[in-house]
Structure formats: C-alpha cells, structure tokens
C-alpha cells in the first residue's frame, strides 16, 4: 500500500514534508500533470474519499482562510476545512501546518486574515474541542514550535487525527479474543481449549476461517455448536494475511477489550483475568501480559518476557512503550481497548504489517501497563506463515521502512530514526543479495518477479528521504 500525502492550497508543485510515495495537491485551478486537483478551500469539500491520505500539509493556507464567510450564508470556512482535513486523513494520519506568526511580515500581507497561535489547535481542535461549533473531528498536537527563518516568526505544528471526544471508558468485562485460521486443524483445537479454560468467563471467541482446505472449518463449527461463546466467521475468499482477516473481523467485535492470537498459541488459565483486572485498575488502553516464546517439545528453550525487563509495576506512555517495542523488549501481544483498535484497524500493506500496527497502537495508547497471566507464543510450528520463507517474506523490508517513517513523523529522536532506517536498509540489502544469489534460484520466475517488486517498492519509498540519499 502506497503512502499518500495531500498539500492543501499549493501554489507550485505540491510539497511533501513526510516523504510520502504519492504526492497530491489542491489549488484554485487543477493541474493534472502535477497531481493537483481543483478546490476552492473557502467553499468546496476536498475532492477525495474519506481516509484517503496518510499525511496532509498546509503552508500558510490556514492563515489565508477567513473564519467567517457570509455568502451565500454565514459559515466558518476555517472549521469546515479542518473537518475536511480530518475526514480525508486516515486514522492516525498526520497534518503538517506552517503559518506566519505576529510580526511585520504578517501585517504587510493583506491575504493573511486568520490569526493562529500555539493555543488554536489544542483548544479548538483537540479531543475535547467543545468550544468549536461545527467541528466534528479531533486532532492531537504532536509538536508545536515557533521558528524564524529570517522572514519572521512562523508557527510549525504537527497534528494527528484521533477519535473525537474523551477516550471511551469500558463498561463491561467482555473480552473479544480474535483468532484468524487458515489450514490450522493441527493446533487450533489446543488453542481454543486454552481460551475456553480461562477463569475470566466474560469472553467471546471470534474464529475466522480464511478459506481453509484441511478440515479446519468443520472443527471450528463443532466448537461453535458446543460453546455459545465461540462465533465462527468465514471470509468470502482467501484474504491471505492476518491483518486483512483481523479487519474483516473488527465489525463483529462486541467486547470492550480486544486481544488477538494466532491459531497455534496457548495461554495460562488466568491470562485474560490478569490483564482485564489490570486494565480496570489503571484505565490503560493496553495491558501486556507475560509472554513466553514457547517450544512445547523442548521447554528448556523457552524465553520469558515479563514486564519491562522484569518490572510489571511500571506504567509507560504510549510513545515510550512503542520505543521499547522496537526490539520487542515489549511484545505486541496486548489486551487493547477495543475502541482504539477499531479506530485504527490493521494496516494491510504486507505479510507482517501487523507488527507496524502494534507500534501504531502503542503510540496512540493513553498508557501501557503490564500484568500477570501468560501468553505462550509457539515458536516450533514450521508451517506458521512467519516461519516459512517465500516471496511474501520480502514484505519484511517494507514493513521496517514504514515503521521508520512512522517514527520520523512522530518526531522520535535522531538516534532512534537512524537505527530503524539502518534496519530497513540492511533488510532490503540482505533480501536483494539472497534473491540475486544462488539461493534465489529456488524461486520460480513468477516468485522472483513478485519478490523483486516488493524490494523495488522499498527502494521507491526510500528515494525521497534524505536519510537514504547517500546510499541510493
């Protein structure tokens, strides 16, 4: 999936501050050759569908919008454009704003009619923006700073699309356990038995058959007949990746909390109870249990991840948790507030894009805490999709690139960005060397072409970014 950005009111070529792969713009007159669509921002809706863009940018354009337009009827053009910006951004999407501040430059420009300062966005367009009649969305202010490049003060802000209103509070103890299944007959019975043995009884289990051909569906239906907590869904065609199947299941989720398992994982009996109790006690959007990298045939190989380096009592901000998760010191096997997961969904750009989504959810969580209870993450299933090396494994480099881009947009420190950029580059180079070497001959011609397309997508994503300029 290509990253897309929209530059509002561009006078020349659309600008691309987030280094997206596809760049669009709006102006009073369309310029199709430049990717610019026609839109009068004082009166027109943006000519794009909901949730079309990963990023937006506006250079001076907000300062040139009148707050009140009287014809044909009184309306607030500024608020309407902010509504449109929220509408066309994807959940969690970023909006870069640069507007002139008070000073001679602004006073000398008669087109600047909208005075914006550091209070405008948090007070009038934040999550609890009750002072702004007509505003239907919400933005979180990630960064704001005053800059002076010699032409006068400018306010630079980065906003993120979030859910409007205060974060919902869960009112029931219902936990939705979601399990995608594809040809999982060998282990899915053990996984379901482990879920249904939980001491936390308020749960629903959604098992989604993604076009299995090994008898999995009949087994799932049997569990559904024997236990009303089990609901069996079936995709209309094979979707092929866990993120796509999870998105298929999300409209069916009824619980206030959400947790996702693979078709071969196991759990201690107090797994859900411990996480739920901690969620209720702390109000956290994410609760991470103990996770055991599990080898059932040889438990001596098991590796335990408990809390943050053994500390279960620590409470982390979402940003800090995401940073610790980059080396999986904090795994993504969390109990999540269901509303958060439904708002963001799961990115579908690659085989392992759920790893990106885990970091996106961490970043947007109000806080992340830890609990007892154990998630046994099976490591010895050679048939697991992440254990088999195929042309689809070449998505891994793109997922790493997208993770780096997410962290850059979120303003993480330079050393973190350099480290994650290097991971993306190293992964791409290693996969390219494998494909070009003797091992690549094990692929068919079609598989080689599909693998190369995935690597070319990574290269295209790197080219606009100065971080990679010296090596491309």
The pLDDT tens digits of the residues spanning 253-276 come to: 999 999 999 999 999 999 999 999
Q: DSSP 3-state helix, strand, coil percentages of the chain (rounded to 5)?
A: 35, 25, 40
**423-426 LR contacts (CB < 8 Å, sep 24+):** 424/397, 424/400, 424/458, 424/462, 425/462, 425/468, 425/471
Q: Are 335 and 286 in contact (CB under 8 A)?
A: yes
Average pLDDT score, the chain: 91
pLDDT for residue 108:
63
pLDDT for residue 72:
67
> Mean pLDDT throughout 27-52?
94
- Residue 211 pLDDT > 60: yes
Task: Quickly name the fold that domain 175-378 has.
Answer: Spore Coat Polysaccharide Biosynthesis Protein SpsA; Chain A (3.90.550)
> Mean pLDDT throughout 428-433?
97
**pLDDT class of 129 with cuts at 50, 70, 90:** low
Residues 6+ apart with CB under 8 A from 106: 63, 100, 112, 152
User: Which pTM does this prediction carry?
Assistant: 0.84
Residues above pLDDT 70, as percent of the chain:
94
Give the least confident one: 27-36, 118-127, 129-138: 129-138
- Residue 68 pLDDT > 90: no
The H helix count followed by the E strand count for the chain is: 13, 16
pLDDT for residue 356:
96
For residue 101 the two structure tokens come to 């501040």
Does 178 sit behind a cis peptide bond, omega within 30 degrees of 0 on the bond before it? no
pLDDT for residue 174:
96
Give the least confident one: 25-29, 152-156, 286-290: 152-156
Residues 6+ apart with CB under 8 A from 125: 82, 132, 135, 137, 138, 139, 159
Nearest to 270 by CA among 194, 189, 185, 212: 194
Residues above pLDDT 90, as percent of the chain:
76
**pLDDT class of 33 with cuts at 50, 70, 90:** very high
Gyration radius from the chain CA atoms: 24
Q: Give residue-wise pLDDT tens across range 139-150.
A: 999 888 888 766
**Fold match flag (4-161 vs 175-378):** no
pLDDT for residue 168:
55
| Main-chain dihedrals φ then ψ at residue 272, nearest 5 degrees | -70, -40
pLDDT for residue 73:
67
- Residue 385 pLDDT > 80: no
Q: Give residue-wise pLDDT tens across range 103-124.
A: 665 566 666 778 888 889 998 8
Nearest to 352 by CA among 200, 453, 243: 243
pLDDT for residue 57:
96
Q: Which of left, alpha, beta for 211 (phi over 0: left; psi -120 to 50: alpha)?
A: left
Give the least confident one: 173-177, 205-209, 343-347: 343-347
Class of domain 4-161: alpha beta
Report CA torsion sign: 35, 40, 42, 48: negative
**pLDDT class of 384 with cuts at 50, 70, 90:** confident
For residue 230 the two structure tokens come to 């089990």
- Each domain of the chain, given as residue ranges in start order, spans 4-161, 175-378, 391-471
Q: Which helix (H) or strand (E) holds 369?
A: strand 368-378
Q: How far apart are CA 296 and CA 114, in angstroms?
A: 64
pLDDT for residue 345:
93
Give me the helix-helix angle, 353-364 and 395-409, nearest 10°: 20
- Residue 369 pLDDT > 90: yes
Q: How far apart are CA 301 and CA 296, in angstroms?
A: 9
Q: Give residue-wise pLDDT tens across range 291-329.
A: 999 999 899 999 999 999 999 999 999 999 999 999 999
Nearest to 82 by CA among 97, 99, 103, 104: 97
Q: Are 156 and 117 in contact (CB under 8 A)?
A: no
């Amino acid at each position: 999936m290509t990253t897309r950005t929209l530059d509002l009111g561009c006078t020349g070529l659309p600008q691309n501050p987030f280094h997206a792969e596809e760049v669009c713009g709006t102006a009073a007159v369309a310029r199709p050759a430049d990717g610019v669509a026609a839109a009068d921002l004082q009166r027109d809706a943006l000519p794009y569908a909901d949730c079309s863009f990963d990023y937006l940018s506006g250079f001076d354009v907000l300062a040139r919008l009148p707050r009140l337009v009287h014809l044909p009827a009184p309306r607030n053009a500024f608020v309407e454009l902010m509504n449109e910006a929220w509408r066309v951004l994807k959940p969690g999407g970023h909006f870069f704003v640069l507007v002139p501040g008070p000073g001679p430059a602004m006073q000398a420009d008669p087109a600047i009619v909208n005075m914006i300062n550091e209070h405008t966005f948090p007070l009038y367009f934040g999550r609890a923006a009750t002072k702004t009649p007509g505003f239907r969305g919400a933005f979180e202010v990630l960064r704001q700073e005053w800059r002076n490049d010699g032409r006068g003060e400018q306010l630079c802000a980065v906003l993120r699309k979030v859910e409007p209103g205060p974060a919902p509070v869960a009112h029931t103890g219902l936990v939705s356990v979601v399990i995608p299944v594809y040809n999982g007959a060998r282990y899915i019975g053990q996984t379901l038995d482990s879920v249904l043995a939980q001491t936390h009884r308020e749960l629903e289990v959604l098992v989604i058959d993604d076009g299995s051909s090994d008898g999995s569906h009949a087994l799932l239906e049997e569990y559904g007949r024997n236990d009303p907590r089990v609901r069996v869904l079936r995709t209309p065609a094979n979707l092929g990746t866990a993120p796509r199947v999870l998105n298929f299941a999300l409209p069916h989720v009824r619980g206030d909390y959400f947790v996702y398992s693979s078709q071969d994982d196991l759990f201690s009996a107090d797994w859900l109870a411990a996480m739920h109790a901690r969620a209720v006690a702390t109000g956290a959007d994410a609760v991470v249990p103990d996770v055991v990298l599990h080898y059932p045939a040889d438990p001596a190989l098991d590796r335990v991840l408990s809390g943050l380096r053994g500390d279960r009592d620590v409470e982390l901000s979402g940003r800090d948790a995401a940073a610790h998760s980059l080396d999986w010191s904090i795994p993504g096997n969390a109990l999540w507030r269901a509303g958060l997961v439904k708002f963001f969904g799961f990115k579908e750009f690659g085989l392992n894009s759920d790893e990106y989504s885990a970091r996106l959810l961490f970043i947007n969580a109000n806080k992340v805490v830890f609990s007892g209870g154990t998630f046994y993450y099976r490591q010895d299933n050679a048939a697991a999709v992440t254990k088999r090396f195929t042309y689809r494994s070449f998505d891994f480099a793109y997922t790493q690139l997208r993770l780096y881009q997410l962290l850059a947009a979120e303003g993480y420190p330079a050393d973190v960005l350099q480290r994650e950029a290097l991971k993306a580059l190293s992964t791409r180079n290693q996969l390219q060397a494998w494909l070009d070497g003797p091992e690549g001959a094990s692929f068919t011609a079609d598989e080689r072409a599909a693998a190369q397309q995935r690597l070319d997508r990574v290269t295209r994503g790197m080219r606009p970014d100065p971080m990679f300029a010296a090596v491309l």
